[in-house]
Amino acid sequence: MTTVVRERPAVSWIDLLWLVFLAGLALLAPIDEPHKQLTLLAIGVLQLLEGRLVAWSPRRGPGYSVLLKILLATLLMEHTGELATSINSPYYPIYYLPVVTAAIYFGPLATLLWTLAASLAYCSLLIPALQEYELTGEGATALGIRILFFFLAAILINRFVMYNRKQVRRYQLLSETLAETNLQLQRVEAEARRAERLAALGQLSAGLAHEIRNPLGVIKGSAEMLGRKVEESQPLARELAGNISSEVNRLNGLVARFLDFARPARLDLRPQRLPEIVEAALESVAQQMPAARVQVERRYAEGLPEIPLDRQLCEQLFVNLILNAYQAMDGREGHLRLVIAPQVSEGEAGVAVSVEDDGPGVPEELREQIFNPFVTSKKEGVGLGLPIVAKIADDHRGWVRLEELYRGGAGFRVFLPQVQPGQENP
Longest distance between any two alpha carbons in the chain, whole Å: 140
Instruction: Please classify residue 374 by burial: count the beta carbons closer than 10 Å to its beta carbon, then call 0-12 exposed, 13-18 middle and 19+ buried.
Output: exposed
pTM comes to: 0.49
How many whole angstroms from its chain centre is CA 64? 35
| Total residue count of the chain as it appears in this document | 426
Whole-angstrom Cα distance, residue 91 to residue 278? 79
Residue 30 has pLDDT above 70, yes or no: no
Please tell me if the domain spanning 187-262 has the same topology as the one spanning 270-417.
no
Report CA dihedral (333, 366, 185, 398) to the nearest 10 degrees.
-40
User: Given this model, what pLDDT does residue 156 score?
Assistant: 93
How many whole angstroms from its chain centre is CA 174? 15
CATH of 270-417, one of 2.60.40.1170, 3.30.565.10, 1.10.20.140, 3.50.50.60: 3.30.565.10
Whole-angstrom Cα distance, residue 323 to residue 325? 5
Residue 27 has pLDDT above 70, yes or no: yes
Q: What are phi and psi of 254, to 5 degrees?
A: -65, -40
Whole-angstrom Cα distance, residue 369 to residue 194? 9
Q: Enumerate the domain spans of the chain.
A: 13-135, 187-262, 270-417
- pLDDT average, residue stretch 322-338: 83
Q: How confident is the model at residue 331 (pLDDT cuts 50, 70, 90)?
A: low
Whole-angstrom Cα distance, residue 17 to residue 100? 14
Residue 425 has pLDDT above 50, yes or no: no
Q: What are phi and psi of 295, to 5 degrees?
A: -95, 125
User: Given this model, what pLDDT does residue 382 score?
Assistant: 64
Quick: pLDDT tens for 288-326: 887 778 888 999 999 899 999 999 889 989 999 999 888
Give 401's DSSP letter: E
Among the ranges given (158-162, 174-178, 335-339, 379-383), the one the predictor scored with the smallest mean pLDDT? 379-383
- pLDDT average, residue stretch 323-339: 83
Q: What are phi and psi of 398, to 5 degrees?
A: -110, -160
- pLDDT average, residue stretch 165-182: 90
Report CA dihedral (7, 13, 16, 21) to the nearest 10 degrees.
-110
Contact criterion met (CB below 8 Å) for 410 and 357 = yes
User: Given this model, what pLDDT does residue 44 score?
Assistant: 81
User: Given this model, what pLDDT does residue 163 score?
Assistant: 92
| Residue % of the chain over a pLDDT of 70 | 81
Does domain 187-262 fall under CATH 1.10.287? My reply is: yes
Quick: pLDDT tens for 102-158: 999 999 999 999 999 999 998 888 887 777 777 778 888 888 898 999 999 999 999
